[in-house]
Structure 1
Amino acid sequence: RDVKPENIMLQDGHAFMADFGIGKAVSGTESEMFTKSGATLGTPAYMSPEQAAGESLDGRSDLYSLGCVLYEMLTGEQPFTGPTVQAVIAKRFVQTPADVTALREGVPHAVARAVHRALARTPIDRFETGASFLAALRETDAPADAKPPAPEKSIAVLPFANMSADPENEFFADGITEEILNALAHSTDLRVAGRTSSFSFKGKQLNLRAIGEQLGVRTALEGSVRRAGNRVRITAQLVDCVDGYQLWSERYDREIEDVFAVQDEIATAIAERLKTTLMAGRSARREQRAPENIAAWEAYLKGRTLIYRRGAAVREGMALMRRALELDPEYALAWAGLADAYSVQGYFGVLPPEECGPPAREAAKKALALGPDLAEAHTAVAMASLIFEWDWAQAERSFTRALELNPGYVQAGGWYSIFYLGMACGRWEEANDLALRIQNLDPLSAYSAVVIAWTMGLEGKRMSEAVQWARKACDLEPASFLELWSLQRTLYFDGQFTESIEAGEQALRVSGRHPWALSQLAVTYVDAGDVASARAIFREMEARAMREYTGPLPRAIAAAAVGEHQTAIDLVRESVARRDPELALFPPQQQTAHALRALPETQEIYAALKYPSDASSHA
């Protein structure tokens, strides 16, 4: 049928299809109609991919066309547009339409999800029947709830502007912003927007009302930093995001060595103005955070920024952490940063475990000895204990303590949610609750969206929501491997194999063909019936392992998927022998490893690792 707005008639509150497509095809112009030998006639703007390709059709083609109509009704735009008929058709095969809620506020999320599923490229990923499509649209008849007003005690610390002549002082200004944000996060009842969300407005024209709405905060702290020689001028002002009124302001002219005291003064003044209380132990934390040397602090700030970026930048970040420690060997935060860098290199499979495990553990212990009141130090210990020592109890103690010290520390909350509560223990409900709390604090962070996508996707109960969160992460960081790989996995968990393969190919392009994306792609190809492509990937992984370090576990997952069972068993044994961090992060209950965990020998190996007792009961 030619489903489009012109062919839908309304009478007495009922909609009827009047299919005039064939009649129009006789006289329609090429811009109005699209025909192909053996293809069904139709209108390009509402035509399904299989209809455009001239393939056999069933009712799911009509549901696709209806999805196009509903998309246009809700957003005022067609899902695919272009200068020519061919361009419109081509986009159906390579692009995904923008999310309905991104184009039109107030659309219920259930409705947006239903329309998105109706527009899936392959019929198997759509609704089976019109009745099931209707049921999905009726999941909620109410409009999406308006955002509740931001709590009075809530704040975003926006990046302070660098007013110095030297652009290198940008890191210095950012560091002051981060330290004030960190100090305010140690509050009993103040909601502080996370670093990633606050820094997403860096260098942009500020509209405080819009910022307040996006971050869910009532107030914003903004300021500037001017550094000249050994002197620094810091200005700060607290503004109400709703009415734009200035609530407080101050200017500080100090020696550069006094910058840490100024940060504390600003945090204290803000806390007093908002009638909140900073947690006890503030002076001890300040002493443990502040290095003896300003140059060490600057090296730490640059290094931490690079480590946040992941990928090749981590090595440069590690070098800067070492530079900070050369300048101040007792600098707790630099030891924690170095430990995190080694942990990142380990769990991404960049370095062999024996090269990153011992230095990560040593740096984490040093950080804790020098900074027992720092959330960063406890988080470093938690990660090293989890991925290098498989000491589950110590990992939980350290994560818990880190979040007690700083409830708003997104890094600790995200790692604890995914790696311990979820993957190690299978406590998915707790993991998802924590992930949602973290995202509420840092709503513009791609990482926090990834955490939710993982917890929902691996739990397997809310797959459509998991996919939406994974897509949101990619919208926030479109060229990031972690976000694309998370989308690849989440689509696979949801059974959307074609789209998972497409996301996997993108992840390979931005990462230099990372083994995680390769192994997931091999599994997806097998489950989609393309064993030949899966075998080609497995051969690629094995050839690569002959040239450079490639983690044994992703290779084991690919080997099991293509039926190379003995190779898979041998690789798992190698992973255990080397204390491979990836083994801690990919326990047997996760879906990607289903072929691997089906082997009796690997079940015995996994049992010997003694995951937390309830992990094996979750699939």
Structure 2
Amino acid sequence: MALPPDTRLGPYEIVGPLGGGAMGEVYRARDKRLGRDVAIKALPPAFAADPARLSRFRREAQTLASLNHPNIAAIYGLEEADGAPHLVLELVEGETLAARLARGALPQSEALALGIQIAGAIEAAHERGVVHRDLKPGNVMINPAGTAKVLDFGLAKSDPGPASGGALSDSPTLSGHPDATAAGVILGTAAYMSPEQARGKPVDRRSDVWSFGCVLFECFTGCPAFAGETVSDLIARILEREPDWSALPAGTSSRIREILRRCLRKNADERPRDIRDVRLELCDVASGGGKAAAGREKSIAVLPFENQSGADDEFFADGVTDEILNALAQVEGLRVAARASCFAFKGRREDLRAIGEKLDVTTVLEGTVRRAGPRLRITVQLANAADGYQLWSERYDREMTDVFAVQDEIAGAIATRLRGTMHAEADRSRARSGTKNLEAYELVLRGRALLIKRGRFMLQAITLFEKAIAIDPQYAEPLASLSDSYRLMGTFGVAPFAEVMSKSKALAERALVIDPRLVEAWATLAAVEEQYDRNYAQSDSLYARALELEPRNATTRAQWALWRVIRGVMTDEEGLAQLRRAVQDDPLNPWVGGMHSYLLGITGKHEESTVEAERSMGRDSESFFARWNLMRAHAWAG
């Protein structure tokens, strides 16, 4: 019988159901002692009387307790209430991979990132001698920050080794009881079972390699590797047929295809013996070997528009570029190169093909901006990065008061050209956070141009943001920028820490009341909670929200991962993986590169830290942060 809300299980109060299966129902619950939400997996009283089920339930607890990995949901305890046992588990917010795949295939970069994380979780289990035996999209959660968590080790068994013959007499097979464990009875979801599992034979870690191959195939294609109208049809296909390799996107690299083929060999002896080898190969593809496939994805770099007015209008041209870039970032199905990487080409004449390769994009947008009194002229050209061929161009002659409309018009025209659609909620967000006041808008553009320079320019930026807010108190963007300015002053020690951090927090909260989708405000608030209030749980939640809204925000991701490693709640390797992803998303950003260098240094990788610091210095030789970071890296290296 299901547990209704407000049911008490010791110190835990049931909030509501999360799901369930043959081995028990899962609920969201509130831990009244620690003030946190957890997941409760409860074994119904009728099942608790069954020694076999009870034994398997306890074995799941022991299995989870033996595993400690950032991509495996943690166990907090095995407890009992009213004669029925229940597991207390980490509550993973987000959605299952199955729910995500119901919306279609993943972009290659996302599929690779998740594949690497899932493989890492299974690798950790195998290292502890545990075979999962039920790996499928429904048993993988993805939290708002994009981190995968493998769940449900209820069917896990000790690894008997590949030459064990019949060591697993209770190998899974199919029958009317999906969770029964005896020879001739199949466990798990049939579509992801290995051939040996489907035949009811003993399984070892190579069965998990097969299931992983099925999951990864579905990530790339959006459809299962094997399907059938009945279980019998499905098993026949698993045993006799190959997956539909033509379902893989046309741009899928040969290396990814080969990895999938090896994982899905019918004969277990022909599969990779160790999923660690699969993970390392996927990491190698993600770091460069997968570019052939990524090139088929719709992607764009917005280069800094050329200022054709006086030098005093440089900020305005940069601001127009920013606004168009931000608008394009809301186009569904379009990957937009990060601002810092795009602005690395400011004032440089470089071949479009080279830019496309460096930023890993298929199209490049260039433009010019000219202001003359009340008139504004913007010209734009969209080009194919592969050959420099112009795909589209347009000239917009408008009144200055139309600057807001023309920016959205340009973004909409490009979205149409690239067959994308503007995200409706993001469109409403832009309307909420923006302004109709041209003077306030220009003050924000000037302020941001100064804030990027850091140092003594921050005080000037603060003055401009304050003026913009005075003109339009409902303009969320200067509130967020002013909040970040105060946070930076506290971080760099140029103002009393407590004073500016409290101001920063209040301003960020005020900005979010106006526009709850303003990523800059979420990220700043997360940093303040981390550095000032030391409210780590709240900080993690805020970072997760920021990354949910903008998963490719490299600065936010890098900052989030760095602090988690420093706090000891993320492993060095997991943190470095997140920093590598951030660098991949924003390859020319000196701040992201600097944080990567710093994390390499504090984790003992001093030579790599120096190399990354030198790269960051090359991206922005005038940056105080880059120079300071390079000196620190050299000091570490001795």
**TM bucket, shorter chain:** 0.5 to 0.7
Closer/same/farther in 2, CA of residues 254 and 422 from structure 1, 3 Å limit: farther
Instruction: Tell me what 2:301 maps to.
Output: 156
Cα distance in 2 for residues equivalent to 1:427 and 1:284: 38
Cα distance in 1 for residues equivalent to 2:358 and 2:536: 37
Deviation at 1:304, TM superposition (A): 1.4
Cα distance in 1 for residues equivalent to 2:295 and 2:383: 15
Cα distance in 1 for residues equivalent to 2:299 and 2:314: 26
Instruction: Tell me what 1:223 maps to.
Output: 367
Cα distance in 2 for residues equivalent to 1:189 and 1:429: 30
Matches for 1:25-104 after TM superposition, within 5 Å: none
Question: Would you say the 8 A contact 1:185–1:407 is kept in 2?
Answer: no
Question: Would you say the 8 A contact 1:288–1:373 is kept in 2?
Answer: no
Question: Would you say the 8 A contact 2:344–2:619 is kept in 1?
Answer: no
Cα deviation 1:396-426 (Å, max 9, x = unaligned)? 1221211222223333223212224544634
Cα distance in 2 for residues equivalent to 1:224 and 1:204: 14
User: Is residue 417 of structure 1 aligned with residue 561 of structure 2?
Assistant: yes
Deviation at 1:177, TM superposition (A): 0.5
Cα deviation 1:70-120 (Å, max 9, x = unaligned)? xxxxxxxxxxxxxxxxxxxxxxxxxxxxxxxxxxxxxxxxxxxxxxxxxxx
Query: What is the TM-score of this pair, normalised by structure 2?
Result: 0.52
Question: Would you say the 8 A contact 1:189–1:276 is kept in 2?
Answer: yes
Which of the two has greater strand per residue? Answer: 2
Instruction: Tell me what 1:319 maps to.
Output: 463
Question: Would you say the 8 A contact 2:332–2:420 is kept in 1?
Answer: yes
Deviates more, 1:483-492 or 1:221-230: 483-492
Instruction: Tell me what 1:487 maps to.
Output: 630
Question: Would you say the 8 A contact 1:186–1:405 is kept in 2?
Answer: no
Instruction: Tell me what 1:190 maps to.
Output: 334
Question: Would you say the 8 A contact 2:593–2:615 is kept in 1?
Answer: yes
Instruction: Tell me what 1:477 maps to.
Output: 620
Cα distance in 2 for residues equivalent to 1:468 and 1:481: 18
Cα distance in 1 for residues equivalent to 2:554 and 2:445: 17
Instruction: Tell me what 1:347 maps to.
Output: 491
Question: Would you say the 8 A contact 1:373–1:405 is kept in 2?
Answer: yes
Q: 1:154 corresponds to which letter in structure 2? A: S
Instruction: Tell me what 1:378 maps to.
Output: 522
Cα deviation 1:154-191 (Å, max 9, x = unaligned)? 21101111223x33222111111111111222344322
Cα distance in 2 for residues equivalent to 1:373 and 1:292: 19
Closer/same/farther in 2, CA of residues 426 and 490 from structure 1, 3 Å limit: farther
Instruction: Tell me what 2:541 maps to.
Output: 397
Closer/same/farther in 2, CA of residues 220 and 329 from structure 1, 3 Å limit: same
**Aligned mate of 1:449, from 579, 586, 593:** 593
Cα distance in 2 for residues equivalent to 1:226 and 1:331: 25
User: Is residue 334 of structure 1 aligned with residue 334 of structure 2?
Assistant: no
Matches for 1:601-612 after TM superposition, within 5 Å: none
**Aligned mate of 2:344, from 200, 224, 236:** 200
Q: 2:627 corresponds to which letter in structure 1? A: L
| Percent identical residues | 41
Closer/same/farther in 2, CA of residues 453 and 188 from structure 1, 3 Å limit: farther
Closer/same/farther in 2, CA of residues 145 and 405 from structure 1, 3 Å limit: closer
**Aligned mate of 2:397, from 253, 266, 282:** 253
Instruction: Tell me what 1:235 maps to.
Output: 379
Closer/same/farther in 2, CA of residues 257 and 465 from structure 1, 3 Å limit: same
SS at match of 1:484: helix
Question: Would you say the 8 A contact 1:342–1:357 is kept in 2?
Answer: yes
Question: Would you say the 8 A contact 1:239–1:247 is kept in 2?
Answer: yes
Closer/same/farther in 2, CA of residues 270 and 332 from structure 1, 3 Å limit: same
User: Is residue 170 of structure 1 aligned with residue 314 of structure 2?
Assistant: yes
Cα distance in 2 for residues equivalent to 1:185 and 1:424: 33
Cα distance in 2 for residues equivalent to 1:489 and 1:425: 24
Cα distance in 1 for residues equivalent to 2:575 and 2:328: 25
SS at match of 1:309: coil
Instruction: Tell me what 2:123 maps to.
Output: none
Instruction: Tell me what 1:181 maps to.
Output: 325
Cα distance in 2 for residues equivalent to 1:317 and 1:207: 34
Question: Would you say the 8 A contact 1:155–1:218 is kept in 2?
Answer: yes
Instruction: Tell me what 1:286 maps to.
Output: 430
Instruction: Tell me what 1:508 maps to.
Output: none
Cα distance in 2 for residues equivalent to 1:312 and 1:490: 25
SS at match of 1:372: coil
Cα distance in 1 for residues equivalent to 2:404 and 2:575: 35
Question: Would you say the 8 A contact 1:295–1:324 is kept in 2?
Answer: yes
Question: Would you say the 8 A contact 1:181–1:192 is kept in 2?
Answer: yes
Cα distance in 2 for residues equivalent to 1:233 and 1:260: 13
Question: Would you say the 8 A contact 1:422–1:428 is kept in 2?
Answer: no
Runs of at least 4 residues off by over 6 Å: 144-147
Cα distance in 1 for residues equivalent to 2:437 and 2:424: 26
Question: Would you say the 8 A contact 1:340–1:360 is kept in 2?
Answer: yes
Deviation at 1:486, TM superposition (A): 2.1
Cα distance in 1 for residues equivalent to 2:326 and 2:303: 12
Question: Would you say the 8 A contact 1:385–1:394 is kept in 2?
Answer: yes
Q: 1:193 corresponds to which letter in structure 2? A: A
Cα distance in 1 for residues equivalent to 2:634 and 2:571: 22
Question: Would you say the 8 A contact 2:498–2:532 is kept in 1?
Answer: no
Cα deviation 1:131-166 (Å, max 9, x = unaligned)? xxxxxxxxxxxxx977834523121101111223x3
Closer/same/farther in 2, CA of residues 479 and 171 from structure 1, 3 Å limit: closer
Q: 2:537 corresponds to which letter in structure 1? A: A
Cα distance in 2 for residues equivalent to 1:219 and 1:148: 15
Deviates more, 1:246-255 or 1:355-364: 246-255
Cα deviation 1:562-615 (Å, max 9, x = unaligned)? xxxxxxxxxxxxxxxxxxxxxxxxxxxxxxxxxxxxxxxxxxxxxxxxxxxxxx
Cα distance in 1 for residues equivalent to 2:307 and 2:551: 29
Cα distance in 2 for residues equivalent to 1:266 and 1:428: 43
Query: What is the TM-score of this pair, normalised by structure 1?
Result: 0.54
User: Is residue 209 of structure 1 aligned with residue 353 of structure 2?
Assistant: yes
Deviation at 1:298, TM superposition (A): 1.4
Which of the two has greater helix per residue? Answer: 1
Cα deviation 1:286-324 (Å, max 9, x = unaligned)? 212322311111111121122222211111111111121
Cα distance in 2 for residues equivalent to 1:427 and 1:187: 34
Instruction: Tell me what 2:574 maps to.
Output: 430
Cα distance in 1 for residues equivalent to 2:445 and 2:598: 29
Closer/same/farther in 2, CA of residues 422 and 323 from structure 1, 3 Å limit: same
Question: Would you say the 8 A contact 2:341–2:586 is kept in 1?
Answer: yes
Deviation at 1:430, TM superposition (A): 3.2
RMSD of Structure 2 on Structure 1 (CA) = 2.2
Q: 1:470 corresponds to which letter in structure 2? A: A
Cα distance in 1 for residues equivalent to 2:552 and 2:438: 26
Question: Would you say the 8 A contact 2:426–2:517 is kept in 1?
Answer: no
Question: Would you say the 8 A contact 2:458–2:485 is kept in 1?
Answer: yes
Cα deviation 1:353-401 (Å, max 9, x = unaligned)? 2331221111111111112111112112112222221111221122121
Instruction: Tell me what 1:605 maps to.
Output: none
SS at match of 2:452: helix
User: Is residue 308 of structure 1 aligned with residue 456 of structure 2?
Assistant: no
Deviation at 1:195, TM superposition (A): 1.2
Matches for 1:116-131 after TM superposition, within 5 Å: none
Question: Would you say the 8 A contact 2:352–2:385 is kept in 1?
Answer: yes
Cα distance in 1 for residues equivalent to 2:399 and 2:564: 44
SS at match of 1:251: strand
